[in-house]
Amino acid sequence: MSQDALIGLGANLGDAAATLRAALLDLGALRGCALLRVSGLWRSAPVDAGGPDYCNAVAELRCEHTAPELLRQMQDIESRHGRVRPPGMRNAPRTLDLDLLCFGELRLQLEQLILPHPRMHERAFVLAPLAEIRPDWRLPDGEAIGDALLRLQRAGQQVRKIGELEARG
C-alpha cells in the first residue's frame, strides 16, 4: 500500500541549491515512488551548529516502500552527493541532508528512524517550506503549521524564500 512521505532537504556546503535540485531528481526517480509536491528554496542560518547558511526545501512523495526502506534509499542519495557523517559530530555542515519527516500517519521508534520526525516542530527551516506545500497541515501534536512557524520566527528563527526548486533533468 502506498504512503505519502514528507521529506526535508537541506545543504550548506558546495553549490547547495544545485545539490538540492539534483537530489530532488534522484527522489523522483526512485522506483515505486512518485513526486507529488515540492516547495520553493529557502535560506536559513544553521540551528545548533556552525557553518554557512543552509538551503532548504520539502518534497512530498507517494511511496510503495516501507519507511525504513525509503530511509535507506535516501541515505544512498546522500552518499552519492558526498554526505559524510563524522563520528560524534551532530549537525555538522553537509553537502546534503535528507530527513524523513512523516510517512503517512505512521508512528515509529527505531534506533535509526523516529516518525514523525522528533524535532521538526522546532525548526522553521522545515516548517516554512512545508507550510508552502501543505498550508492546512497540522503537526502531530495538533498545532497548526502556520502557528508553529510564527512561534519559531518570534523566537528568532528566520527563514527567507530565495527561489523555486524546480527539478530539471
Which residues carry out catalysis? 83, 94, 97, 99
How far are the Cα atoms of 11, 43, 65, 116 from residue 161, in angstroms, in the given order?
15, 6, 31, 25
- The alpha carbon of 58 is separated from its chain's Cα centroid by a whole number of angstroms, namely 5
Which amino acid belongs to residue 7?
I
Residue 13 DSSP one-character state: S
In this structure, the chain runs to a length of: 169
How far are the Cα atoms of 14, 47, 57, 91 from residue 5, in angstroms, in the given order?
27, 24, 14, 23
What would the grid cell of residue 14 be?
A: 558546495
